[in-house]
Amino acid sequence: MAEKVIMPKQGLQITEGTITKWLVAEGEKVIEGEPLFEMETDKLTIEIMSPASGTLLKILREEGEVVPVIETIAIIGVPGEDISELIDAEHDEDGVKQDIDKIPENKTNDPLDRGTSEDKEVERPGRIFITLRAKKLAERAELDISGISGTGPNGLIIERDVKEFLNNADKRKYTPVAKKMANEYGVDLPDTDAEFKGRIYKEHVQRAIAISHDDKAPGRGSEIVPITRMRKVISERMMQSLHGMAQANHRIKVDVSEILKMREKLKADGVEVSINSILVKAVSKALLEFPIMNSSLIDEGILIKNYVNMGVAVAVPDGLIVPVIKDADLLSLVEINDTLKELIDKARTGAIEPDDCSGGTFTITNLGMFDIDEFTAIINPPESGILAVGKIDKTPVAVGEKIELRPIMVLSLTYDHRIIVGAPAAQFLQRVKGIISNPYLML
């Protein structure tokens, strides 16, 4: 019997995912538990295993499509098996409504009407109701759905309504987004450049902009690189962070001579730990002493967390992942090092799970390995602080009456000034410095 393949729900807050690559082609055999496709969520890209063995009879959602969780994306079965009912059932899901708290009463109790285009249009005061397929089609066409009349029950906009709107849209030569972009860049596109219903979309304008730039620089072309879902989400969250928080910054120089000596002693005993692991341990200890730094602002007030889930930023090809060391304050230095190493390996090999990146209470980001002296990091919401770590650099410092070269690291603390005022933030940073200067305090 044929079996549906659904878009899996990877975490409580994940509502949709992007199919980045099918690892098996239609008609090929699949084995239960082996990789079937790759999906990208807000935070990461992961391989999804096949739920059954058999043949991949039909792919219903193509690469690049954004699909809501638990929606069917493919069908696995036996070659020659009739799967028409399953496919028809998926098409019938055009009646699924999106973003509806309460469905208006349908007085006739009839199923979703799929009749002719002569159906009566219903006025929809206030909120707009639209089916999933209609919404996707409208988004691809860059349409403002408020201008579309719905012929479904109680004014519900269905796919046919969007198609008819597009069929009658020849006089609207530019989509709103394309028109705005064309005006901003001074691009003039003939109607024949459009590939769909004589309309011009933002992609056409983007190509024209690239061609215009190429003309100005003969022999040196340019290209428009599509924004990945991860990059888009990072962009949105960083803007949300900057616009939604009063971010302030303190910096402090730290002599790391003692932690370097401690690393050497541990190494001599056969134990290797990274600088980041030591920082996680030191910051975790300081957070317990300054709980306001380990908080979030919620509607009811300030949420103080009496545990430390430490996020550590990891660079990956498509952007940035922040795996989280759960209960870092309860772990030994060696346990932190082992956990961090495992999470970094998973992040860089694409094996990381959504749960590995959730629940963080504070974040550390280190660019010292890239020869960066110091930098300001942006807070990862809903956290209230992030510590940016620069490189270790031998610097002349006054030691008593002498000048000595000491390994110095700059720590930069960004904090949410809505929750934390300057003095406690400075004291916290000073405490981190004190622990690093005397690392045996953390053991």
- Per-residue pLDDT tens digits for 130-142: 887 788 788 777 7
Regarding pTM above 0.85, the answer is no
Closest CA relative to residue 198, chosen from 181, 164, 165, 174: 174
- The per-residue pLDDT for range 346-390, each reduced to its tens digit, is 988 888 888 899 999 999 999 999 999 999 999 999 999 999 999
Tokens 């055009």 correspond to what residue? 94
CATH topology of domain 231-442: Chloramphenicol Acetyltransferase (3.30.559)
Contact 264, 331 (CB under 8 A): no
| Pair of tokens at residue 416 | 């949410």
**Residue 204 among the catalytic residues:** no
Task: Give the CATH number of domain 3-95; options: 1.10.4160.10, 2.40.50.100, 3.40.1350.10, 3.40.50.2000.
Answer: 2.40.50.100
pLDDT 10s digits, 177-215: 677 777 777 766 554 344 444 567 777 777 777 766 655
Catalytic one of 91, 243, 250, 417: 417
Residue with tokens 């690189």: 225
Helix H or strand E encompassing 388: strand 385-399
Domain ranges of the chain: 3-95, 176-216, 231-442
**Would you say the CATH fold of 231-442 matches that of 3-95?**
no
**Rounded alpha-carbon distances, angstroms, from residue 11 to 40, 43, 100, 229, 358:** 13, 11, 22, 17, 9
- Percent of the chain clearing pLDDT 70 (strictly above): 81
